[in-house]
């Protein structure tokens, strides 16, 4: 019995990218190219690490941001690292680099050499959304007003 090929869910992908754009704008605020914001992550009294947002490039219609996280396991595991492009004209943010891997396709045949999931691009953007939502819920930036 043949398996049906994965069909990219564009509505879900665009929804994630739009929501991530709004989340990133709240966290990045008025940062400009070359600037960084560190956000301490806490849950109850526990310090969970730091979320680092750096604006790498800025143009009239796009901004490139790098997100990294440091924490208690830094000596053992490398924290997550992403580059995200913000497209201001369509109000979307897209993951373009994850853990130093670049250019993700909308869909992959499975299995494949790099073992990407068929919907790898959607999953990366969902992960970004969860990561940013966590930063908004549990973060406190030292150089900006308290996040709502």
Question: What is residue 73's predicted lDDT score, i.e. its pLDDT?
Answer: 72
**Sequence ranges of the domains in the chain:** 18-136
Which pLDDT score is estimated for 132? Answer: 92
Quickly state the pLDDT bin for 145 (edges 50, 70, 90): very low
In this prediction, residue 148 carries a pLDDT of 47
pLDDT in tens, 85-139: 999 999 999 999 886 676 666 665 666 576 556 577 888 899 899 989 988 888 8
Question: pLDDT tens digits, residue range 18-63?
Answer: 999 999 999 998 899 999 999 888 888 888 889 999 999 999 999 9
Question: Residue 147: which pLDDT band, with cuts at 50, 70 and 90?
Answer: very low
Query: Distance of alpha carbon 102 from its chain centroid, rounded?
Result: 13
Q: The tokens 């994630």 sit on which residue?
A: 16
């Amino acid at each position: 019995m043949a398996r049906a090929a994965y069909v990219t869910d564009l509505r879900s992908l665009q929804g994630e990218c739009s929501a991530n754009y709004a989340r990133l704008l709240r966290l990045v605020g008025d940062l400009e190219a070359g600037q960084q914001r560190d956000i301490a992550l806490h849950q109850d009294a526990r310090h969970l690490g730091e979320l680092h947002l750096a604006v790498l490039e800025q143009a009239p219609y796009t901004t490139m941001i790098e997100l990294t996280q440091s924490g208690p396991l830094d000596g053992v595991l490398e924290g997550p690292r992403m580059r995200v492009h913000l497209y201001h004209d369509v109000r979307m943010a897209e993951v373009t680099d994850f853990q130093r891997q670049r250019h993700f396709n909308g869909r992959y045949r499975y299995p494949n050499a790099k073992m990407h999931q068929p919907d790898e691009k959607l999953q990366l953007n969902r992960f970004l959304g969860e990561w940013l939502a966590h930063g908004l819920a549990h973060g406190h930036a030292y150089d900006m007003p308290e996040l709502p």
